[in-house]
């Protein structure tokens, strides 16, 4: 149990908002109880010695030199000096949460004998880490980048790690190219610029020389690379895997995570601003959603391809730069995942968690995708230097719930006190234990799929991996008009930052022109390159003209659950409007932030004190999804004279957000020179606009406004 905070902290509850602040502090203390370290235990050294003075080093006289003998100070500083561990070489910036996975129905006879896919009543614990790829541990959350989506299932048969991304393909086809790719995308070696992004020469040099990257680079130029938050990203296992059923039959599968919140993204201007206004935007959003009980949820599904259908597609299932269009093979839902608990300690859990694609359980197996095969080696290898040795599986967050028992011994950071004399197998000293378990349909030992391989040893790329453009073309064709516009803008922005003209030209002529000539010509114009008149590679006939499942505008949830709405107030605000809109939005599962000129409560028109959640400056429009301004003549007058409030509205308008102005707030339209449209609504009071406001928020953006919004200053 938490003991009370020291008096110094409680004395701050002595201002005008005494009651509210005291109440919310008490709530916070209760909430944080389980995270508290208020044990009542004495301060001791690591050797267990009680410490009498933690304020002063041992000195020869109060003003004299410090003494080497001070083991208390030396232990403390030595430990501190070694607090940091190497950050991940890629995916260093991340955030994570605990939760559970629950299967819908038993899969043993249909698809996989994996134990965690059998019992719909069973909740298998998971730990999920989301990440960006390029930036270091302290970099911004909203940069243009791929998002990692790594899930550790703590199953009764051992840990299963599904280490995926929020995009369904990858930049390269063979693991041997990974260090080249990463060196190219990382900040440049001479000046370590840029942090967190790919808008620089070495990245575009590499990808313009490596056409197999064309499809994935196109994904990173879409809005998928700037998600609005981590609760609304899709996840993909990327590679083809195998699943083995109880009869031993194997099928190929591709894993998909579909967010219940729908797929939503930021606009580029928002993403850039948010990176400065709130570096932790995504981390904070996930944390706050879970703390508030709004638990993010995803559905796990698989595309299933029967063994005999392996070669029926016009691409190779083993090629990680290809998707299987959902129109050809629909996603079969398997179960749902809910994230319902934040970590207690970032370092111990989020930083020290070690994922590895080779952590599989019986019923799940690998394909021969050459990128996947390389990953099976790389992840354990990297933990050996990052986590300081081969015993990282003993770190609590990595420990399986299934017991592990074998003859592996010693090495750095071993914490298990192994018993018995026989650390080898077979043995006759410890009764032969631990022994092998034969493979079986249920709870058996792991047995690799009995695949026949008969070939020459070669260093070769299969010819079936040779088409690098047709799926990129399919993807571009499948995007809606605003999505295509954003892609053109993203290539233009990124290539516009490339200093070497020949790299710009090569990307336009040899890559973009082969994806879509119109795309290439528009980008060429924006970056000062002569527009190409023809592709350099003969286009392959597309077997599918469009895949609607690829456009994120088709992937909205249709409701406003989990969105964040700003309510702008000042002294004199109509308190009834605030109350009404709050209850209407909360009833739909949205989060409401009442924002004042500063963090102090405002006085409503009826004289009552109205607490606020923060200031408009502290929670900028780029961090929220929509804006409501209640009526109240005095409040509207104050907002009309407040630069922050006016900018708030104009910025929300520019970013195509739903805006509703109640009562006198309609007067603000003139002040900021904006006109009503299908998402900028006015009405006599909150009740009159709330229905249309909610419908506009559910559409996520007012796309029809985009051309007009361009003239609003950024
Ligand atoms: Fe990774 N990747 N990767 N990767 N990857 C790492 O492992 C690697 C690839 C992915 O939150 C590293 O523990 C190679 C594809 C995620 O902790 C490292 C290749 C996909 C995460 C590594 C790939 C991913 C990583 C760095 C090509 C999507 C973060 C630290 C053969 C399917 C996991 C670490 C977390 C992390 C190697 C390609 C996803 C160095 C060699 C494809 C989500 O081992």
| In the chain, where the domains are located | 59-218+228-391, 469-554, 564-709
90 Cα to the center of ligand 1, angstroms: 7
Q: Evaluate whether 469-554 and 564-709 have a shared fold.
A: no
Give the alpha-carbon dihedral of 688, 691, 695, 700, to 10 degrees.
60
394 Cα to the center of ligand 1, angstroms: 21
What's the CATH number of domain 469-554, 1.20.1370.20, 3.30.1490.190, 1.20.120.1200, 3.40.190.10? 1.20.1370.20
Catalytic residue check, 647: no
> Helix (H, G, I), strand (E, B), or coil: what is residue 442?
coil
Can you tell me the distance from the alpha carbon of 320 to that of 580, in angstroms, rounded to the nearest whole number? 51
Please tell me if the CB atom of residue 175 comes closer than 6 angstroms to any atom of ligand 1. Answer: yes
pLDDT of the residue at 7: 38
Please tell me if the CB atom of residue 218 comes closer than 6 angstroms to any atom of ligand 1. Answer: no
392 is in an annotated binding site: no
How far is Cα of residue 711 from the mean position of the Cα atoms in its chain? 32
C-alpha dist (Å) from residue 84 to 136, 347, 353, 379, 572: 13, 10, 15, 20, 51
409 is in an annotated binding site: no
Write the residue with the smallest CA distance to atom 14 of ligand 1. Answer: 375
17 Cα to the center of ligand 1, angstroms: 49
323 Cα to the center of ligand 1, angstroms: 19
**Structure token pair of residue 535:** 């592709």
283 is in an annotated binding site: no
Please tell me if the CB atom of residue 238 comes closer than 6 angstroms to any atom of ligand 1. Answer: yes
424 Cα to the center of ligand 1, angstroms: 33
- Beta pairing class for 364-366 and 241-244: antiparallel
> Helix (H, G, I), strand (E, B), or coil: what is residue 306?
strand
- CA nearest 563: which of 706, 705, 696? 696
Please tell me if the CB atom of residue 90 comes closer than 6 angstroms to any atom of ligand 1. Answer: yes
Can you tell me the distance from the alpha carbon of 375 to that of 80, in angstroms, rounded to the nearest whole number? 34
> Helix (H, G, I), strand (E, B), or coil: what is residue 477?
helix
Number of Cβ within a 10 Å radius of residue 696: 23
161 and 355 in contact (C-beta within 8 Å)? yes
Per-10-residue mean pLDDT of the chain, 714 residues long, equals 37 38 59 75 96 98 97 96 97 98 98 98 98 98 98 98 98 98 98 97 98 98 98 98 98 98 98 96 98 98 98 97 98 98 98 98 98 97 96 98 95 95 96 95 94 96 97 98 98 98 98 98 98 96 94 98 98 98 98 98 98 96 98 98 98 98 98 97 98 98 96 88
**List 159, 165, 514, 574, catalytic entry:** 165
Catalytic residue check, 165: yes
73 and 51 in contact (C-beta within 8 Å)? no
88 is in an annotated binding site: yes
Write the residue with the smallest CA distance to atom 39 of ligand 1. Answer: 164
Write the residue with the smallest CA distance to atom 19 of ligand 1. Answer: 375
Q: Which atom of ligand 1 is nearest to the CA of 237?
A: 32
Domain 564-709 has CATH 3.90.105.10: no
447 and 455 in contact (C-beta within 8 Å)? no
Please tell me if the CB atom of residue 133 comes closer than 6 angstroms to any atom of ligand 1. Answer: no
CATH fold of 59-218+228-391 reads: Catalase HpII,  Chain A, domain 1 (2.40.180)
């Amino acid at each position: 149990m938490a003991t009370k905070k020291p008096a110094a902290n409680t004395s701050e509850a002595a201002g005008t908002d005494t009651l509210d602040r005291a109440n919310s502090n008490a709530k916070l203390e209760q909430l944080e109880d389980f995270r508290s370290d208020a044990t009542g235990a004495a301060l001791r050294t690591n050797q267990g010695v009680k410490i009498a003075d933690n304020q002063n080093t041992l000195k020869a006289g109060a003003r004299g030199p410090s003494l080497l003998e001070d083991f208390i100070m030396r232990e403390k500083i030595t430990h501190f000096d070694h607090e940091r561990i190497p950050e991940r070489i890629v995916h260093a910036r991340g955030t994570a949460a605990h939760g559970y996975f629950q299967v819908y129905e038993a899969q043993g006879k249909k698809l996989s004998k994996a134990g965690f896919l059998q019992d719909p009543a069973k909740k298998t614990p998971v730990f999920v880490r989301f990440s960006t790829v390029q930036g270091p541990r302290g970099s911004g959350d909203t940069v243009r980048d791929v998002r990692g989506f790594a899930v550790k299932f703590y199953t009764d048969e051992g840990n299963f790690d599904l280490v995926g991304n929020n995009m369904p393909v990858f930049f390269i086809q063979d693991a041997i190219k990974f260090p080249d790719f990463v060196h190219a995308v990382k900040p440049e070696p001479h000046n370590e610029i840029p942090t967190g992004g790919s808008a620089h020469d070495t990245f575009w040099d590499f990808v313009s020389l490596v056409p197999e990257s064309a499809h994935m680079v196109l994904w990173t130029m879409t809005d998928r690379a700037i998600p609005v938050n981590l609760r609304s990203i899709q996840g993909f296992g990327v590679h083809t895997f195998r699943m083995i059923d109880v009869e031993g039959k194997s099928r190929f599968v591709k894993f998909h995570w579909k967010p219940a919140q729908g797929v939503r993204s930021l606009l580029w201007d928002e993403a850039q601003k948010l990176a400065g206004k709130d570096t932790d935007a995504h981390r904070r959003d996930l944390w706050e959603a879970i703390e508030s009980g709004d638990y993010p949820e995803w559905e796990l599904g698989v595309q299933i391809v029967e063994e005999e259908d392996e070669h029926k597609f016009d691409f190779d299932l083993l090629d990680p730069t290809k998707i299987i269009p959902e129109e050809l093979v629909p996603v079969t839902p398997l179960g749902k995942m809910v994230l319902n608990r934040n970590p207690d300690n970032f370092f111990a859990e989020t930083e020290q968690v070690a994922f590895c694609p080779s952590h599989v359980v019986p019923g799940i197996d690998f394909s021969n995708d050459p990128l996947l095969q390389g990953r099976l080696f790389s992840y354990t290898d990297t933990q050996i230097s990052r986590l300081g040795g081969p015993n990282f599986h003993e770190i609590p967050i990595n420990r399986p719930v299934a017991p592990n028992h074998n003859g592996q011994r010693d090495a750095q950071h071993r914490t298990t006190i192994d018993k018995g004399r026989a650390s080898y197998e077979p043995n006759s000293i410890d009764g032969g234990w631990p022994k092998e378990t034969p493979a079986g349909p249920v709870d058996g030992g792991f047995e690799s799929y009995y695949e026949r391989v008969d070939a020459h040893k070669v260093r070769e790329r299969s010819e079936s991996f040779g088409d690098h453009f047709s799926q990129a073309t399919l993807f571009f064709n499948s995007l809606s008009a605003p999505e295509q516009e954003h892609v053109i803008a993203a290539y233009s922005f990124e290539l516009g930052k490339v200093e070497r003209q020949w790299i710009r030209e090569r990307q336009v002529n040899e890559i973009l022109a082969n994806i879509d000539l119109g795309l290439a010509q528009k980008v060429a114009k924006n970056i000062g390159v002569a527009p190409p008149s023809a592709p350099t590679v003969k286009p392959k006939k597309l077997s599918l003209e469009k895949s609607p499942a690829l456009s994120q505008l088709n992937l909205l949830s249709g409701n406003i659950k989990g969105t964040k709405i700003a309510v702008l107030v000042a002294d004199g605000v109509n308190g009834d409007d605030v109350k009404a809109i709050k209850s209407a939005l909360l009833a739909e599962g949205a989060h409401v932030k009442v924002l004042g000129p500063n963090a102090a409560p405002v006085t409503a028109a009826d004289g009552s004190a109205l607490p606020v959640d923060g200031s408009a400056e502290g929670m900028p429009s780029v961090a929220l999804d929509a804006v409501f301004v209640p009526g109240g003549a005095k409040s509207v007058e104050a907002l009309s004279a407040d630069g922050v409030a006016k900018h708030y509205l104009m910025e929300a308008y520019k970013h195509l957000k739903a805006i509703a102005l109640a009562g006198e707030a309609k007067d603000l339209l003139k002040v900021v020179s904006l006109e009503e449209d299908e998402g900028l609504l006015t009405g006599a009071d909150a009740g009159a606009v709330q229905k249309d406001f909610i419908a506009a928020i559910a559409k996520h953006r007012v796309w029809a406004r985009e051309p007009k919004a361009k003239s609003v200053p950024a």
